[in-house]
Amino acid sequence: MGGSRSMIFADCSSSTTARLIPFGRSRLLCGGGALCARRRLHVGVGPSLPASLRTTLTVHSSPSPSLPVMNVSCSATMASEASAKVIDGKAVAKQIRDEITGEVSRMKDAIGVVPGLAVILVGDRKDSATYVRNKKKACQSVGINSFEVHLPEDTSEQEVLKHISVFNDDPSVHGILVQLPLPCHIDEQSILNAVSMEKDVDGFHPLNIGRLAMRGREPLFIPCTPKGCIELLHRYGFDIKGKRAVVIGRSNIVGMPAALLLQREDATVSIVHSRTKNPEEITRQADIIISAVGQPNMVRGSWIKPGAVIIDVGINPVEDAKSPRGYRLVGDVCYKEACEVASAITPVPGGVGPMTIAMLLSNTLTSAKRVHNFQ
Ligand code: NDP
């Protein structure tokens, strides 16, 4: 999502729905959606998936024309009661937002500065407009100023770059997000690269990612979703140092930075991806699992080492006739089975989703503090 991936929603259940469904849809729509959709399904039924899942993965008509809703069964077959602790991302995110509110107010009282977040939206996509609206609301709720530029679909790349440049030079703006996806005639990479590294609150600038990867270097910002995963581990007091961690997924926005962060915390990290030959075996060695794949219920109980801690980033719509919407959201991890094996797990929704927004607000506050040397 580049900027757009740091969606902001005050309420966790609505946040994950509103945030990630259109987000998935956006991927399917932009740049040849049908191809993307086919690829995603193909990956899902590929050789790295257990046979049990392969047979049940089917795409049905979705609540929106381009949103695949999957019918993937995941039933607990083990007899024992669920025992894993639930890692409550919604509650932690609320606590963080309250802390941010206090800090924003302290800063304002002490030096008269209010942190500001600017969002650039190009085009008329309804989902993107919703995201931007919710970002504004989230900012308001903690006292951060929000600025928005809404440009028409046919805006040139040069024009977008001009607006970024204005925000780069504006001292009242401490964070800049460019809402993605951008119209296809605009090069996403050159737009994201144009955002000042000092205001890159999404943490996607190559220099910030590069610093994250290098020993002895500090990124100015850490991407919001992986940062939220680590924050959950910290706030629940789980040790990371010396543990074996497996990250499933290697995307630029979640999997890869999550692996880098775990490594910085002195975990021994393995990354599982779509070409990994023995994902189950590798994952079963992990004390900590972070899954960011986008395949419903892919990680089964048999993949999990007893006592492991699981952070499930995935948010996937699956068919549910009982739901008024016709679908519900599940993670990458079969929750019921995992609860019987793991020591702790994030629910979906209500786990990582609400943390993403909290981290975006936190990054904006950090940026303002840094610029004004405010401790
Ligand atoms: P991407 O599609 O960009 O990346 C998915 C990754 O999963 C890729 O690295 C891919 O491997 C890997 N993968 C795909 N299929 C398999 C498989 N069968 N076995 C092992 N690995 C596989 O997704 P994102 O990282 O953007 O998002 C992942 C999930 O997290 C989605 O459900 C998304 O909705 C959710 N999400 C949630 C957020 C939140 O705030 N809670 C924020 C962002 C995302 P390869 O590289 O080989 O293709």
> Would you give the distance in Å from CA 332 to the centre of its chain?
13
pLDDT in tens, 273-295: 999 999 999 999 999 999 999 99
- Please identify which of the residues 202, 287, 312, 332 carries the catalytic annotation: 202
Q: What is the pLDDT of residue 158?
A: 98
How far apart are alpha carbons 257 and 270 in whole angstroms?
13
Angle between helices 12-29 and 353-371 (to 10 degrees): 90
Stronger pLDDT, 73 or 250, i.e. the higher one:
250
β-sheet bridge partners, residue 248? 272, 291
pLDDT in tens, 124-158: 998 789 878 878 899 999 999 999 999 999 999 99
Task: Say which residue the tokens 């309804």 belong to.
Answer: 126
Nearest residue to 66 via CA among 95, 28, 118, 98? 28
| Among protein residues, the one whose CA lies closest to atom 42 of ligand 1 | 225
- Buried (b) or exposed (e) across 177-191, using 16+ Cβ within 10 A? bbbbbbbeebebeeb
How far apart are alpha carbons 7 and 53 in whole angstroms?
30
CB 7 within 8 A of CB 131: yes
User: Which of 42, 252, 293 most suits a substitution to test ligand 1, by most atoms within 8 Å of the C-beta?
Assistant: 293
User: Which of 7, 313, 330 most suits a substitution to test ligand 1, by most atoms within 8 Å of the C-beta?
Assistant: 313
- 146 in ligand 1 pocket by Cβ < 6 Å? no
Residue 151 phi, psi (nearest 5): -110, 150
- Please identify which of the residues 90, 135, 199, 369 carries the catalytic annotation: 135
- 225 in ligand 1 pocket by Cβ < 6 Å? yes
CB-based burial label for 272 (10 Å; 0-12, 13-18, 19+): buried
Residue 246 phi, psi (nearest 5): -125, 125
Stronger pLDDT, 237 or 6, i.e. the higher one:
237
| Percent of the chain at pLDDT exceeding 70 | 79
User: Is there a catalytic annotation at residue 241?
Assistant: no
Position 320 pLDDT exceeds 60: yes
Centroid of ligand 1 to alpha carbon of 248 (angstroms): 8
Average model confidence (pLDDT) for the chain?
Answer: 83
| Percent of the chain at pLDDT exceeding 90 | 72
Centroid of ligand 1 to alpha carbon of 274 (angstroms): 10
Our CA angle for 9, 10, 12, nearest 5°, is: 80
Centroid of ligand 1 to alpha carbon of 240 (angstroms): 22
Q: Which of 50-64, 205-219, 258-272 has the lowest mean pLDDT?
A: 50-64
- 223 in ligand 1 pocket by Cβ < 6 Å? no
In ligand 1, the atom with minimum distance to the C-alpha of 24 is: 34
- 357 in ligand 1 pocket by Cβ < 6 Å? no
- 315 in ligand 1 pocket by Cβ < 6 Å? yes
> Would you give the distance in Å from CA 154 to the centre of its chain?
28
Q: What is the pTM of this model?
A: 0.83
- Please identify which of the residues 136, 179, 295, 312 carries the catalytic annotation: 179
Which positions ≥6 away from 222 have C-beta within 8 Å?
A: 203, 208, 212, 257, 261, 359, 363
User: Is there a catalytic annotation at residue 135?
Assistant: yes
